[in-house]
């Protein structure tokens, strides 16, 4: 189960200076079914209201989702032909689309783009719902809730949160043309317009007196919320006389009233009106949330991607990734253990071979190196030459150099268990290296000069010109 906090905001005050100080706000904490519960067939369960009442923003309970309901008088619903533009360019073009419907400048307004109304899927401009609100007021509201603990946030217009009733439920007779599908009747909600901003008293203390509009006249102001269609509605602030006069122009539909309006009954229709409780607003808001385009939190007021991260939708890919990583780690460790055992087996075999051939060795540090040294010592003791001695090296190099011209070899030295050969410039060294490789020798150019040995004596004999090469036994 998940929790949702619904908060209704007061109408924007036109007679109070900024910054606005919010007081106690009406709220309802609701527990709803999650997506898993919905898949099990329990999505139609009635939401359970855990808490409701009035509280300051700092005292509101935390919830997974926060739904802010703006007053209907602060949101203008209109339609326009909206071209398909990127979000940045669309935001710049929207004021030009609504300036004819506004009595003020369009630039200070925040304009949200609602769903398409024409129902066509063709490319090009489409008739869409536009929701216009004051940008400064919306920013003040969202800044006030910046410290509230929630994961997702939505901003809805109050006129879209009033459930529509069918014509039969409203008590009107449907026409013959619409007998099969009666059109929805209007929904009208009348409430006392006592502003929550005036309840806090903070702004009044700063001004040193009573706030404008908080006296007896404010108690007789009524906040009217009217929904005339699926994407149409408006809000008004009217007194007793104005509300009675407006009733003659009111559309036919279902009336709702709060306790103050039902007791005062400024218009006759309120005497039989249904109660405007939180269940009414919750039902309408949930229906509104099913259409994401009706959310006013767009453009600069939209939440970031991190706030919209849904771990539930990524459970299967994340579980698959964790399984792959786990299998990879287990496989690598298993392979390492197999290689470790093979290494230990080879080291044990080398140690056994060394101790079997030379049992006098007490300490074994590097079995292959010690074996090689012991074999060389035995060969030397027996009078046999090693491949790195001068005679074997010179003999095999003579076999490889038998095709050289008589004057190609200028010098031949034996230093550091290798031959240092000086060849005449212009000698075919590529063929000589190939022949040396076939004879089991490794022939490399001595680029270090006299690092391996020098042809100059201590008396200062000049170095023999030519290319110098080192010859060793092949690997």
pLDDT digits (tens, 9 = 90+) for 79-123: 999 998 888 899 999 999 998 888 888 888 999 999 988 766 667
The domain boundary residue, chosen from 310, 337, 359: 310
Residue whose entry in the numeric block shows the structure tokens 């496989």: 331
Kindly give the pairing relationship between strand 184-192 and strand 253-257.
parallel
The domain boundary residue, chosen from 261, 291, 310: 310
The reply to whether 291 and 394 lie within a common domain is no
Going by pLDDT thresholds of 50, 70 and 90, the confidence category of residue 194 is low
CB burial class (10 A; 0-12, 13-18, 19+) of residue 284? buried
Residue 146 has pLDDT above 60, yes or no: yes
Q: Is 374 helix (H, G, I), strand (E, B) or coil?
A: helix
The pLDDT of residue 27 = 95
The reply to whether 61 and 151 lie within a common domain is yes
Residue 323 lies in a domain: no
The pLDDT of residue 216 = 46
Residue 169 has pLDDT above 60, yes or no: no
Residue 431 lies in a domain: yes
pLDDT above 90 covers what percent of the chain?
40
The reply to whether 287 and 393 lie within a common domain is no
The total of structural domains in the chain comes to 2
110 is in which domain, residue-wise? 1-34+44-162+274-310
Residue 467 lies in a domain: yes
Confirm if 256 and 274 have CB atoms less than 8 A apart: yes
The reply to whether 297 and 420 lie within a common domain is no
The reply to whether 5 and 101 lie within a common domain is yes
pTM greater than the 0.75 cutoff:
no
Domain containing residue 406: CATH number: 3.30.1360.100
Interatomic CA distance for residues 220 and 158, integer angstroms: 21
pLDDT tens string 389-419: 888 888 999 999 998 898 899 999 998 889 9
Domain containing residue 301: CATH number: 3.30.420.380
Residue 206 lies in a domain: no
Residue 151 lies in a domain: yes
| DSSP secondary structure letter of residue 16 | S
The pLDDT of residue 166 = 57
pLDDT tens string 347-385: 999 999 999 999 998 888 899 999 988 888 887 788 777
Interatomic CA distance for residues 394 and 400, integer angstroms: 10
Going by pLDDT thresholds of 50, 70 and 90, the confidence category of residue 302 is confident
CB burial class (10 A; 0-12, 13-18, 19+) of residue 17? exposed
pLDDT tens string 264-301: 877 877 878 888 889 999 999 999 999 999 999 998 89
Residue 171 lies in a domain: no
Residue 306 has pLDDT above 60, yes or no: no
The reply to whether 147 and 11 lie within a common domain is yes
The reply to whether 295 and 397 lie within a common domain is no
Residue 185 has pLDDT above 70, yes or no: yes
The domain boundary residue, chosen from 293, 310, 327: 310
Residue 57 lies in a domain: yes
Q: In this structure, how many other beta carbons lie within 10 angstroms of the beta carbon of residue 426?
A: 10
Confirm if 350 and 368 have CB atoms less than 8 A apart: yes
The reply to whether 53 and 158 lie within a common domain is yes
CA 323 to chain centre: 22
The reply to whether 297 and 392 lie within a common domain is no
The pLDDT of residue 35 = 52
Average pLDDT across the chain, whole number: 82
The pLDDT of residue 426 = 87
The reply to whether 292 and 398 lie within a common domain is no
Residue whose entry in the numeric block shows the structure tokens 């003659």: 248
Residue 15 lies in a domain: yes
Measured CA distances, 133 to 113, 151, 455 (Å): 12, 24, 97
- Closest listed residue to residue 11, CA positions, set 147, 124, 159: 159
Q: Is 425 helix (H, G, I), strand (E, B) or coil?
A: coil
């Amino acid at each position: 189960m998940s929790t949702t906090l619904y908060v209704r905001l007061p109408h924007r005050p036109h007679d109070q200076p900024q910054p606005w100080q919010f007081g106690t706000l009406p709220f309802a904490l609701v527990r709803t079914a999650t997506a898993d519960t919905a898949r099990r067939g329990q999505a139609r369960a009635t939401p359970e209201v855990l808490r409701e009442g009035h509280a300051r923003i700092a005292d509101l309970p935390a919830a997974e989702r926060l739904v802010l309901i703006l007053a209907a008088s602060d949101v203008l619903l209109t339609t326009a032909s909206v071209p398909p533009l990127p979000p940045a360019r669309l935001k710049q073009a929207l004021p030009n689309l609504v300036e004819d419907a506004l009595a003020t400048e369009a630039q200070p307004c925040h304009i949200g783009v609602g769903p398409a109304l024409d129902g066509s899927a063709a490319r090009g401009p489409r008739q869409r719902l536009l929701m216009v609100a004051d940008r400064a007021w919306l920013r003040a509201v969202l800044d006030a809730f910046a410290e509230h603990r929630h994961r997702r946030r939505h901003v809805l217009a109050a006129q879209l949160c009033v459930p529509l009733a069918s014509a039969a439920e409203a008590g009107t007779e449907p026409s013959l043309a619409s007998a099969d599908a009666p059109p929805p009747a209007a929904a009208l909600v009348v409430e006392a317009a006592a502003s929550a901003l005036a309840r806090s008293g903070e702004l009044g203390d700063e001004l040193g007196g009573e706030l404008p509009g908080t006296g007896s006249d404010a108690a007789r102001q009524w906040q009217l919320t009217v929904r005339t269609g699926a994407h149409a509605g408006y809000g008004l602030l009217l007194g007793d006389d104005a509300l009675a006069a407006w009733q003659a122009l009111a559309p036919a539909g279902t009336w709702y009233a709060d306790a103050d309006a039902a007791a005062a009954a400024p218009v006759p229709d309120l005497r039989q009106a249904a109660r405007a409780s939180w269940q009414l607003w919750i039902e309408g808001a949930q229906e509104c949330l099913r259409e994401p385009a009706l959310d006013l939190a767009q453009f600069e007021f939209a939440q970031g991607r991190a706030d919209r991260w849904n771990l539930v939708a990524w459970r299967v890919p994340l579980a698959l990734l964790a399984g792959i990583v786990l299998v990879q780690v287990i496989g690598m460790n298993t392979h390492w253990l197999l290689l470790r055992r093979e290494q230990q087996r080879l080291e044990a075999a080398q140690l056994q071979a060394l101790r079997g051939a030379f049992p006098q060795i007490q300490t074994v540090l590097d079995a292959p190196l010690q074996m090689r040294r012991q074999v060389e010592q035995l060969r030397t003791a027996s009078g046999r030459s090693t491949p790195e001695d001068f005679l074997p090296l010179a003999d095999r190099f003579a076999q490889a150099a038998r095709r050289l011209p008589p004057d190609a070899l200028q010098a031949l030295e034996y230093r550091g268990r290798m031959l240092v050969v000086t060849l005449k410039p212009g000698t075919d060294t590529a063929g000589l290296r190939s022949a040396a490789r076939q004879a089991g020798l490794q022939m490399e150019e001595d680029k270090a000069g006299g690092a391996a040995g020098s042809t100059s004596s201590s008396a200062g004999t000049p170095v023999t010109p030519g290319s110098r090469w080192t010859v060793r036994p092949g690997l």
